[in-house]
Structure formats: C-alpha cells, structure tokens
Amino acid sequence: MLADFDFDVIRRSLGYLFLDGMAFTLTLTVLASVMGILLGTLLAIGRLAGPKFIAVPITAYVNLIRSLPLVLVIFWFYFLVPYIGQWMTGASRPVQVGAFASTLLTFTLFEAAYFSEIMRAGIQSIPRGQVSAGYAMGLTYPQVMRYVVLPQAFRNMLPLLLTQTIVLFQDTSLVYVLSITDFMGAASKVAQRDGRLVEMYIFAAVVYFLVSFALSRLVKRLQARIAIPR
C-alpha cells in the first residue's frame, strides 16, 4: 500500500513550500503578534484607565471580535477594506490593498482583542501598592505604567502571550481561503496539482507540529531567563 504514496513530491516542492509558503506564514505571524500585542496593550490600558467613552467602545470591540469566527473576519476584511480605503481616500474605485496587507491588518486587529484580555489580566495582577509606590515618588500615570506596571505585567503574562502567538501561527493557515500562498496554501496547491493529498497534508501536519513544539520549548527557556528573581 505504501508503494502507492509518492513522498518525493515533498522534496520536489520544498522551495515553493518554504521559501514562498513558510516565509509568508512566519512573516505574518511575527508582524501580527508584535503589532497585536502593542495594540492589545493600548486597548487594555484604555479599557482599564480610560474614560467611559473610550472604555465602553473598546469593551464592545473586544467582545464582538471574540464572538466571531476568524475565517469570517478574514473574508470580511478582505472584501471590505478596499471599500473603506476608497471611502477614506475619496478614490473613484475600491482601493486594492493586496493580500498581505489585508491579512496583516485582519490578524493584528483580531489578535489584539485576545492580547488585550491577556494584558488586562496582567495589569490587574500587579498589586495596587506598586502603583501607589510609583505615584508616591512622583511618577506620573504614564511613567508608572511604563516603568512599573507593564514590565511586570508583561513578564507575568509572557507564557500566555506566547501561547497565543503559537495559536496565531496555526491560525494563519486560514488565509488559504483567500487563495494566498502561505505554508498551508502552498501545501494545498501542490497536493491538488499533483493529486498527492495524503502526502502533503501529512507533511504539513508534521511541519506545523514541529514549529509549534519548538516554539513552546523556546517559551519555557525564555521564561526562565527573564523571570523576576525571587
């Protein structure tokens, strides 16, 4: 039975799978998680410390995003963003933003909702006394946040942030619905072109597993290195 399989198809398409596919997947993962964490942190601060007219819309946004399936949001942004671009620039036709820009925006905005919940928990985990101590020595609110609260919140939440990033890495495979050549898209295209579905999907699974597993080991080591000494 094994003779029916042709695993050489993997070797023949390695360049396409990794240089095109995986490069896209990793770039998207890294950029979207960095921007998502930054935006998520701002959302968390706005929600915790902002006035009502800022906190309420943020809460609504986070709840909305978290109740929608990612694949729907991907579609939605891909077809809607050109119209928003048209409306904002006053152009005569929808503005084509390109698949990469569109997916990056989608993942950043989507993941920011999840990251903001993680950062919110992290900020709230810092004892009030720490904030008081910062104020008592004359620091302003932004300074207390920047030098006292966020560095500790970030360290405390690092395992969760990176776990979410690993989930993000896997979720980027959903962009194949837009016929984008990410790793999953590349594997899928080769699979269908050569009629090697089993081989390619097994290989894709192995690669996703290896990368995710390696990342989670890395998280453990990183965590030990930046932990607050006790």
Interface contacts to other proteins, rule CB under 8 A:
127, 129-130, 132-133, 135-140, 143, 147-148, 151-152, 155, 228-230
Which of 73, 149, 137 lies closest to 105 in space, CA to CA? 73
| ∠ CA 169-191-110, rounded to 5° | 25
Smallest distance, other proteins to C-beta of residue 229, A: 4
Residue 107 sits at φ, ψ, to 5 deg, of -65, -40
Smallest distance, other proteins to C-beta of residue 169, A: 28
How many residues are present in the chain?
A: 230
Smallest distance, other proteins to C-beta of residue 137, A: 4
Would you say 83 or 141 has its CB closer to other proteins? Answer: 141
Would you say 46 or 151 has its CB closer to other proteins? Answer: 151
Would you say 139 or 215 has its CB closer to other proteins? Answer: 139
Would you say 112 or 149 has its CB closer to other proteins? Answer: 149
Smallest distance, other proteins to C-beta of residue 131, A: 9
* Token pair belonging to 205: 């699974």
Q: What is the largest CA-CA distance in the chain?
A: 75
11 exposed, middle or buried (CB, 10 Å; 0-12, 13-18, 19+)?
Answer: exposed
